Homo-oligomer: A and B are copies of this chain.
Amino acid sequence: MLKEERLAKVYDQLSELGVSQMLVSDPVAIFYLTGKWLHPGERFLGLYLNAARQPQLFLNDLFRFEEEIGVNKVSITDTTDLTALLKQYVDPAKLLGVDKELAAKFLIPMYDAKLSDGIRNTSLAIDNARALKDAQEIEWMKESSRINDRAMAQFRALIREGITEKEAASQFLGIYQSLGASAYSFSPIVAFGANSADPHHMPDDTVIKEGDTVLIDVGCVYHDYCSDMTRTFFFKKEPSAEARRVYELVRNANESAEEMCRPGITLASIDKKARDIITEGGYGPDFTHRLGHFIGIQDHDFGDVSQANQNLTRTGNIFSIEPGIYNAAAAGVRIEDLVLITEDGHEVLNKYPKELQIIE
């Protein structure tokens, strides 16, 4: 059913952008606004919004549904002239906002037909609304992270002599499902030893060996909302002095960045806090990515915690804090939690311990 409060936020944002009509095409955005998942594949799907506030849903008959969700449904088929149909709704004398991901095959004919007086990417109107989680969203994201905490304990217990990264990872989905999650929020990362110094490593046939780091970066979906957490363990052996130092630097960067989180500070300042700690520790060049990303219905919602982002944190934001040091000679370590910005500070959604652990 149409989410009136969310839609009101979007109308406000659109009017701030000076745009009075928008064609929303991203299935995630449409789910966010209507509560209805529609997966059109290569076909067109669009929710048209304008000042009249009577949304029109353009939907291929292949995906027709009877349920009433508070929008008028406009039927399209594989032979519909989409642009001609849109002309019956879109005001040609006004700018038209569209989603950032709208595909060229739909967009080029809109330009060719002069459907509107200019076209602008107004995804921000929805992305900014999505960045402010409401009470129900926060509840589901907390539960998603609670499941992730419990799952991490079980994933750790799988790491035994002789296991490969792939063998470990192949058991994660079943564990998540047994804990009440519906799916992965992204394909899990398991990296042993030198592999953990590659931030993009995917599980392969590497066999665990004594002294390895064990990096596990995982998340699940609960009620359509994502979790995402990373922990790095050591296997069977006390880490070298340098590996321990790397671990403690990353942990300090993670915890210090989390501690400062509150409404009204720049996202860049949070990244800087973590980055300065790692740089002062001598590993600046080995922290090769931004500190974090926003998360919600998608594992990567719009928005990041990076040196370039001067936007301010707001109550209801949820993002990751995930510093890392990727140094094959010393160790590859990443520690990641999700953080919710609350009115008077923050709450770390992940409770799984961060003290250095040696798996025996």
Contacts and interface: CB of A to CB of B under 8 A. Distances in A.
Nearest to A119: B108
A164 to B, nearest CB: 12
Nearest to A63: B200
B104 A101 contact: yes
Nearest to A99: B104
Given A79-B308, A111-B111, A308-B79, A123 B102 contact: no
A31 to B, nearest CB: 17
Interface string A97-138: 011111111011001000000011101000000000000000
Given A42-B300, A170-B174, A308-B78, A103 B100 contact: yes
Given A79-B308, A119-B111, A308-B78, A102 B103 contact: yes
Contact of A121 (B104, B120, B174, B300): B104
A105 B107 CA distance: 11
A111 B115 CA distance: 15
A24 B264 CA distance: 41
Copies in the complex: 2
Contacts of A170: 173-174
Interface residues of A, number: 24
B111 A105 contact: no
Interface centre among A99, A121, A123 (most CB of B within 10 A): A121
Contacts of A104: 98-104, 107, 119, 121
Contacts of A102: 103-104
A305 to B, nearest CB: 14
Contacts of A78: 308
Nearest to A199: B62
A78 B107 CA distance: 24
Contacts of A100: 103-105
A120 to B, nearest CB: 7
Given A78-B308, A308-B79, A121 B108 contact: yes
A105 B302 CA distance: 13
B107 A120 contact: no
Interface centre among A99, A103, A173 (most CB of B within 10 A): A103
A17 to B, nearest CB: 14
Interface in A270-304: 300
8 contacts: A41-B300, A42-B300, A98-B108, A102-B103, A104-B107, A108-B120, A108-B121, A111-B119
Given A79-B308, A103-B103, A108-B119, 19 more contacts: A42-B300, A78-B308, A99-B104, A100-B103, A101-B103, A101-B105, A103-B104, A104-B104, A104-B107, A104-B119, A104-B121, A105-B121, A105-B123, A107-B107, A108-B120, A108-B121, A111-B111, A170-B173, A170-B174
Per CB-CB distance, the 3 closest pairs between chain A and chain B, nearest first, are A100-B105, A102-B104, A101-B103
